[in-house]
Every structure is written in C-alpha cells, then in structure tokens.
Structure 1
Amino acid sequence: MTDGPRVALVTGATQGLGLALVKALAQRLNTEDVVYATGRDRARLDEIRAELTGTGARVRTELFDVADPDRAEELAAALAERHGGIDIVFNNAVMRVTPDDDPRAIVGPYAEVNNFATTRVLRAFAPRLRDGGRLIVVASALGSLSYLAPVLHSRFDDLATLDEVDRAVADWRDAVRDGSAFSGPWPAFVNILSKIGQVAAVRTLAKRRREDDLARDVLIASVCPGMMNTPTSQAWWEVSDAPTPDEAAGPLLELALKPVHPEQYGELVREGRIVPWHPAGV
C-alpha cells in the first residue's frame, strides 16, 4: 500500500458487518489513516463518528445511498481529489429480505442495492485504487454456479463487461417481477441469484485487470463472511451459535491488510480459501 496515509471506505456501515468493519479498520490502521463510514442515515453516521473518535485511525462519514445511480462516481471522484486515491474499499451495502417478503414486490429495489450498486462501485472505485489497494465485495458462498441450474450458467459465466453482468441481472429481475421465474429454472431464493451476480461482476472486472493489478499488488475479490448472528439471519435460520459481525469481520480484515495471494485475485474467498465458481467436475 501507499507509504502515506491510507484511505479506507465501507458501504452500508451503519450497522452489522459494515459497522464491524469500520471499527476494526479504525483499530488496525494508523492514527494518520482515514476510514470512511458511509450510509443513508446522517444521524446514525454522526453517532458512529462520535463513538469511534480516538479509537485509532480517523473516522469520517459520508452520505452514500448506493441506490443513487450517480453517487458512487461522485464520491469516488471526490475522495480521489481529496486524498489522491483510495486504498481499501469494502462494498458491503445490502438490502435485506425476510421470509414474509414477496419476491415480486421487492426484487426491483433488491437488485438495485445488491447488484447494480455493486457494479457501480466497481466501475467508480477500481480505477482510483492506489498501488497495494484492495476492493472487496461482500457476497456469500451462495455466489457459486453450483447453486444455479446448468442451463443458466452461460448467462453469468465468462462475461466480457460489467454491462453484460447488469443485463443478466436485469433479465432475472424482470423474470421474478413478472412471475415467469417461478415456472422456470431460476432459483426460488432471491439471495442466490443476487450473490451469483455479485461474484460474476467481480470475476468480470478482475479478468480485464488481473495482470496490471497484480503487478501493483492490488487485490479485487469477493468475500464470504459466513453465517452471522444478526436479526436478519435470525428470521431465516437458527443462528444462536453463529459468530457476531465483530467476529466475522476478522477474516475480511486479513484479506484487506495482508499481502496479496495471487490465486485469490478475482475469486470468492471464505476464511482464506477459495469457494469454487464452477460446480465440481465442470
């Protein structure tokens, strides 16, 4: 990473894993470094900044609604002008769903926050990473073609551009919204396809940047934090024995702060191990 002050940014940082990442970065980085906590709730951001003052790195806040189609580029440009670039980005913002949600009603905003915002963050921040930078998309182990019907693999595998990823996600969104997905091969749980779309976006960008990035010690990857004990997870599963967000943040920080392992570049990583993109035997 850069010899000067480092700059980190976390999206979706007002609660859960995002807040845990901000806290951990503030503790692990130096006092001259800067950690930006971002989110949509200005009052909550102000509370976080006050709570974390004096904990290590300087914690600053920025309003960042990832669903705003222009905000990622605006913020990335502003930080690059302010600091000369950026060193660590955790794309963590997510729209959560519950078992009571109607997929047809929520899939539009869900795809906007979880998927189209991911590609916007990749487009905006990847070109502004400094040498040694890290751009990490928080996804899950569901982001594997193993969870997708083989007839759909080609829609997300080996795509050439992020625009192609967006079109594939839009086709899925529209199929859920008009109901046709429920009689076809699409997975019933919307989180599966959303995570596959996120991992596909990382793989697509990384394929184009790999050689130059590795020469500059830059890592672009997606990461699975594993099951966590959060209110959202509690609505779906028994998670009383699962790690807290603070505990789950540890392996993600290792990925951001330790030397790059080239085999992890562009891949989905869980606790230092690569989650296979293709099903076994393919």
Structure 2
Amino acid sequence: MSDPRTALVTGANQGLGRALAEGLAARLRPADLVLLTGRSEQRVTEAAHQVARSAGTRGRVEGRVLDVTDTEALARLADELRQRRGGVDIVLSNAVARLLPGESQSERADEFIDVSNTATHAVLRDFAPVLRPGGRLLVVASSLGTLGHLDPRLRHLFDGATLDQVEYAVESWRTAIHHGTAEEAGWPRWLNVPSKVAQVAAVRAVAAERRERDLAAGILIASVCPGMVDTATSRPWFGDYREARPPAVAAADILHLVFAEPVDPALYGELVRAGRPLDWYGGTPPTEQDRLLVP
C-alpha cells in the first residue's frame, strides 16, 4: 500500500473551499489527511469538526488556522509537511477576499491583491517544490484569467513571464492604483480581471519551468475555473443565479482533475474549465458597461 496522502485546501471553512475539503475527505483513505484551513479559528474548527463527522468522510480531517497573506506562515507549513509527511500530495489554493459591489475597489485593492495574488505566488513557490510524485497543485481562478481580458498595452507583462516578472507586474499595478494612474495605464477598475490574469500567468510561469520533470513524475500543476458558483462571495455580484452551481457540484469538476490518472499533458500549466484548457489568448477587455457596475 502507498504512503498516506496529505491534502491542503486554503479558504476551506465555507463555500467552494469547504466543498473541496469535503470531497477530498470522502475520496481519500482513512490514513490520509485533509488540512482544512482558513483565517478564523472558530470557523475552521467548526467546519473541520462537521466535515470529519460527515457520513461520507473516510479520510482524516484536521482544521488549521492559516492566513494566506502571511507568507512566512505558508513557508513554515510547507517545511512542516516536508519534514513530517515527506511533502504534500494535493494543494488546492482557493482563498479569496470577499468584495461587495458597493465597496470601493481601489480602497480594498491591497487586501484583494494580497489574498489573490501575493498568496498565490507564495503557494506556488513554497508548495510546488514539496509536491510528492503524483501530486496535484491547483489554483482556483476564473475564465476572466485569460490574457485577452486585459488591455493590449498590458498583455506583454504576463505573456511568457517568469514568476518574478508576474510578481513585479502585480506590484506595479498595485502602485498605479495607489497613485491614481491605473486606469490611464489601461488597468480595469474591476480588480478581478487583472488579479485572475496574474494568477493564471503565475501558474503558467511555474509550470513552464517544471513541465518535463513534473509530467515524468505524474505531477499536475494548473489553474482551474469552477464557473459561476452560488457562494456568499459571488452571490452579491449577480442578479440572475439560475445558472449558478452549488459548491459541491462545482467542486466535483476540480476533484475529477485531482484524481484523474494519468495526467493529461494538454492540461498541464493551463487554465482548465470542465476538463478542457481555455485559450490563454482568448477573451476581451471589460466594456464601459462593465465598468459602470464597479464603484
């Protein structure tokens, strides 16, 4: 029998993250461990307790307080898993900062970027090196993460970029927001667009460096689009939710990718939706009508 597996889910105390933790706990073995993480000790403890006691749960479930904006904490956890368990088998990077339609995007930019981008860079840097053979590292992104959603003036910052270059572009965007020059430079007011493009670009950057040896070891690194999911974070942004999927249904596509064998080389490093890679160069920038929806 193979060694016990270790899975880590960030932003896992509610919504899609919790559904992912539940799905992992149901499909892994009794000796395997699911680390359900989030910032609130109370919410993490309650969620881990409920998932552990669920009728479908087979694997072990442990709640762990983890603020993904604390990059030192991420590095310590990666090192702990390397030392205690020989590495990690599944990493699902799902944490997101909740932003309401009535809130100022520029005033919330730092928190949003820290959670969605700085943390993604840290997860990729710290956990990709400790993935065990057959491992999976998936970053939950969006179909908005394709390059075509950016103004043409900005696309060169992310196309073919290294992780350091992606990080520099993100910090340049952050600085432009603070200086009030972001729109003039072509950055959309809607934070979600450049944030998601940067997430996907970061995954592509790491994957480009590791592709050959990862595929030889059965490792998959990719970003994933769960589609419209009915969660507390996304619900305020949409008036028509008839096509939204419950978190458990959206999680099923991601979990299928986690457990699919062997790794499909066509999906490695790509943004995947419903089992298919999306065109990195696809999409169009937000329209003026889209801008009017953003404060």
TM over 0.5, shorter chain? yes
In structure 2, C-alpha distance between the alignment counterparts of 1:182 and 1:204, rounded to whole Å? 26
Q: Which amino acid aligns with 1:18?
A: G
What is the match of residue 286 of structure 2? none
What is the match of residue 200 of structure 1? 201
Q: Does 2:157 align with 1:155? A: yes
Tell which deviates more after alignment, 238-247 or 165-174.
238-247
Q: Which amino acid aligns with 2:45?
A: D
Q: Does 2:98 align with 1:96? A: yes
Q: Which of 268, 273, 276 is equivalent to 2:279?
A: 276
Are the equivalent residues in 2 in contact too, given 1:89–1:135 (CA < 8 A)? yes
The residue correspondences of 1:44-59 to structure 2 (distance < 5 A) are 44-54=43-53, 55-59=57-61
Q: Which amino acid aligns with 2:200?
A: V
Are the equivalent residues in 1 in contact too, given 2:15–2:247 (CA < 8 A)? yes
What is the match of residue 290 of structure 2? none
What is the match of residue 135 of structure 1? 137
Instruction: State, as a whole percentage, how many aligned pairs show the same letter.
Output: 47
The superposition leaves residues 124-154 of structure 1 with CA deviations (integer Å, 9 ceiling, x where unpaired) of 1000000000000000000001101111110
Q: Which of 242, 252, 255 is equivalent to 1:250?
A: 252
What is the match of residue 32 of structure 1? 31
Q: Which amino acid aligns with 2:11?
A: G
In structure 2, C-alpha distance between the alignment counterparts of 1:145 and 1:235, rounded to whole Å? 26
The residue correspondences of 1:10-89 to structure 2 (distance < 5 A) are 10-54=9-53, 55-89=57-91
Q: Which amino acid aligns with 2:274?
A: E
Q: Which amino acid aligns with 1:57?
A: G
Deviation of 1:231 after TM superposition, in Å, equals 2.5
Q: Which of 121, 124, 128 is equivalent to 2:126?
A: 124
Are the equivalent residues in 1 in contact too, given 2:13–2:48 (CA < 8 A)? no
**TM value normalised by structure 1:** 0.95
Deviation of 1:173 after TM superposition, in Å, equals 1.3
What is the match of residue 216 of structure 1? 217
What is the match of residue 174 of structure 1? 175
Q: Which amino acid aligns with 1:154?
A: H
Give SS of 1:174's match.
Answer: helix
Are the equivalent residues in 2 in contact too, given 1:37–1:45 (CA < 8 A)? yes
Give SS of 2:136's match.
Answer: strand
Are the equivalent residues in 2 in contact too, given 1:233–1:239 (CA < 8 A)? no
Unmatched 5+ residue regions in structure 2? 284-295
Deviation of 1:3 after TM superposition, in Å, equals 1.7
Deviation of 1:234 after TM superposition, in Å, equals 2.0
Deviation of 1:101 after TM superposition, in Å, equals 1.5
Deviation of 1:194 after TM superposition, in Å, equals 0.2
The superposition leaves residues 211-236 of structure 1 with CA deviations (integer Å, 9 ceiling, x where unpaired) of 00000000000000000112232211
Q: Which amino acid aligns with 1:27?
A: A
Deviation of 1:177 after TM superposition, in Å, equals 2.3
What is the match of residue 112 of structure 1? 114
- Alignment size in residue pairs: 278
Give SS of 2:29's match.
Answer: coil
Give RMSD over aligned pairs.
1.3
The superposition leaves residues 90-136 of structure 1 with CA deviations (integer Å, 9 ceiling, x where unpaired) of 00001121111112211111111100100000011000000000000
Tell which deviates more after alignment, 235-244 or 74-83.
235-244
Give SS of 1:264's match.
Answer: coil
**TM value normalised by structure 2:** 0.91
Tell which deviates more after alignment, 37-46 or 137-146.
37-46
Q: Which amino acid aligns with 1:244?
A: P
Deviation of 1:278 after TM superposition, in Å, equals 1.1
Are the equivalent residues in 1 in contact too, given 2:10–2:94 (CA < 8 A)? yes
In structure 2, C-alpha distance between the alignment counterparts of 1:241 and 1:149, rounded to whole Å? 28
Q: Which amino acid aligns with 1:39?
A: G
In structure 1, C-alpha distance between the alignment counterparts of 2:179 and 2:207, rounded to whole Å? 33
Tell which deviates more after alignment, 162-171 or 193-202.
162-171
Q: Does 2:224 align with 1:236? A: no
Are the equivalent residues in 2 in contact too, given 1:39–1:45 (CA < 8 A)? yes
Are the equivalent residues in 2 in contact too, given 1:14–1:37 (CA < 8 A)? yes
Give SS of 1:149's match.
Answer: coil
Give SS of 2:170's match.
Answer: helix
Q: Which runs of 4+ in 1 moved over 3 A?
A: none
The superposition leaves residues 6-28 of structure 1 with CA deviations (integer Å, 9 ceiling, x where unpaired) of 11000001111000000000001
Give SS of 2:258's match.
Answer: helix
